[in-house]
Amino acid sequence: TDLAKPINIQPNEVTEGKSWGWLIVFECPDSVCALLCVGPLCSVMVNRFGCRPVMMVGGLFASLGMILASFSTSIVHIYLSTGVITGLGLALNFQPSLIMLNRYFNRKRPLANGLSAAGSPVFLCGLSPLGQFLQDHYGWRGGFLILGGLLLNCCVCGALMKPLPNPKPAEQQHDQEDKKKEKKKEKKLLDFSVFKDRGFVIYTVAASIMVLGLFVPPVFVVSYAKELGNEDTKSALLLTILGFIDIFARPTCGVIAGLKWMRPRCVYLFSFAMVFNGTADLVGSQSNDYASLVVFCIFFGVSYGMVGALQFEVLMAIVGTEKFSSAIGLVLLVEAIAVLVGPPSAGRLLDATKSYMYVFLLAGSEVVLSGVVLATCNFLFIKNKPHEPAVCPGEMVTLADDKTKRRSSRAEGQQMTEKKVQKKVINEIKNNDNVRPKSVAVDSQEVERFLKEPQANGDMAACPETCL
């Protein structure tokens, strides 16, 4: 009411009409879809320019979208600014951070994934009260402007992404063919060969099914509580509870996934997390009061944190470090299509049935199905390979030195044995020449007569030297 240029939305379109479900649904998935859809483009940019410049440019775009949203005069302008421009900027921040995390850590990578993923629920807890505070004191235009300034900190975070030197194998100097192969790999800005991996294909299909229903409960849980007769502030508190539980669930799951006996089975832990999340949705659909919604948010926060901590850790384990930058871009592109279909279809279902129970049932069944697909297909079609301990870049030089030392020691040992054998042979020959058997008695005159006798071919041996 205190805006100089109010947005052109009629009150009945928000409170009474069937557009209420669509208004809620598109506010979040529009930005999420832009974040996911730009995945291949971000992969190409990271492979071409590196993570640091891409992330800094992403921070500028994310801030620009929020600043432009403060000058909006219609809801379409907000969709384009916060959804497209800010979503593009967040995509250019999100993907390089995961790629750098995969490069920085190896042995403790699951824990690093869990700790870094905990940043999302931290701001999920604080964003709702912060938005309400900015709305009350500065209006929504001032709130967008302040959020745009906060997003400029992404540029600072991007500046801290120090690139690591590429590990050089010990035999790289001697093998020119390996250099040519590496150059060919570097030229590929987007590697589509990941689709030849069965594990990657199974993961992509399961993740796409999961995304259809994963983001539905956080979008609708507040409106669900409002429909039960709760106040706006009390209803918004549910997201804070969900985010608070999520903060501790992600690092804890990272610790569990990093255990020696669990890390080779990380895929099945991820499948369990998806089934757990879907089951929480199915049970939460029967909530009829605020207390039951609080219990639902607690269990949903635990399962949602497990999914968030394991989602990209499993992808890293499947495709490896070299192909991860391309694999994550292709996976996010496929998930973007599911994001455009999932929450809007849930909003359409809500408009048709006027009941949140069916929305939560649909979301839960989709997430459970994704967990079953991932576990079953991985068990049936993926053969277990012998687990080889990963080698960190700093350890490769020492291993290479050990190999060269072993080879040099083997060569020296062979040379020593050969010299010993030669000495033995020479000594035996000398001994045989110096010591003559007693049974052998040679008369020089008989030898000369034998050599001067006519041969079978009629030739004469002139002297012993020429005959010999």
Q: Are residues 230 and 343 in the same domain?
A: yes
C-alpha to C-alpha distance for 86 and 302, rounded to whole angstroms: 28
Q: Are residues 105 and 219 in the same domain?
A: no
pLDDT band at 187 (very low <50, low <70, confident <90, very high): low
Q: Of 335, 355, 383, which residue sits at a domain end?
A: 383
pLDDT, one tens digit per residue, over 359-400 is 899 989 999 999 999 999 988 887 655 444 444 444 343 434
Q: What's the number of domains the chain is made of?
A: 2
- pTM for the full model? 0.66
Q: Are 381 and 198 in contact (CB under 8 A)?
A: yes
Q: Are residues 377 and 339 in the same domain?
A: yes
CA dihedral 50, 53, 57, 58 (to 10 degrees): 50
* pLDDT for the residue 276: 94
Considering the domain boundaries, does residue 264 fall inside one?
yes
Element (H, E) at 462: none
| Of 6-10, 144-148, 312-316, 413-417, minimum mean pLDDT range | 6-10
pLDDT band at 440 (very low <50, low <70, confident <90, very high): very low
Q: Are residues 70 and 219 in the same domain?
A: no
* pLDDT for the residue 36: 61
Amino acid found at 285: S
Q: Are residues 143 and 286 in the same domain?
A: no
Q: Are residues 209 and 355 in the same domain?
A: yes
Q: Are residues 121 and 215 in the same domain?
A: no
pLDDT, one tens digit per residue, over 74-95 is 888 888 888 888 888 888 888 8
User: Which of 188-192, 333-337, 390-394, 429-433: highest mean pLDDT?
Assistant: 333-337
Q: Of 161, 176, 209, which residue sits at a domain end?
A: 161
Considering the domain boundaries, does residue 49 fall inside one?
yes
* pLDDT for the residue 399: 38
Of 227 and 438, the one with more pLDDT: 227
Considering the domain boundaries, does residue 458 fall inside one?
no
3-state secondary structure 359-404: HHHHHHHHHHHHHHHHHHHHHHHCCCCCCCCCCCHHHHHHHHHHHH
Task: Work out the angle between the directed axes of helices 119-151 and 290-319 (0-180°, nearest 10).
Answer: 80
Q: Are residues 223 and 125 in the same domain?
A: no
Of 205 and 44, the one with more pLDDT: 205
Quickly tell me which residue has 């089975």 as its tokens: 265
Considering the domain boundaries, does residue 414 fall inside one?
no
pLDDT, one tens digit per residue, over 204-232 is 999 989 988 888 888 888 888 888 888 87
* Residue of 326, 356, 18 lying closest to 219 (CA atoms): 356
* pLDDT for the residue 407: 54
Which two structure tokens, joined as six digits, stand for 73? 């005069």
User: What sign does the CA torsion over 177, 180, 186, 187 have?
Assistant: negative
Considering the chain, what is the average pLDDT of its residues? Answer: 75
Considering the domain boundaries, does residue 173 fall inside one?
no
Give residue 377's domain range: 190-383
Q: Are residues 132 and 32 in the same domain?
A: yes
Considering the domain boundaries, does residue 316 fall inside one?
yes
Q: Of 349, 383, 417, which residue sits at a domain end?
A: 383
Considering the domain boundaries, does residue 337 fall inside one?
yes
The CATH number assigned to the domain holding 319 equals 1.20.1250.20
Q: Are residues 372 and 249 in the same domain?
A: yes
Which two structure tokens, joined as six digits, stand for 355? 């009941």
Q: Are residues 196 and 344 in the same domain?
A: yes
Considering the domain boundaries, does residue 110 fall inside one?
yes
Q: Are residues 104 and 216 in the same domain?
A: no
Element (H, E) at 90: helix 86-104
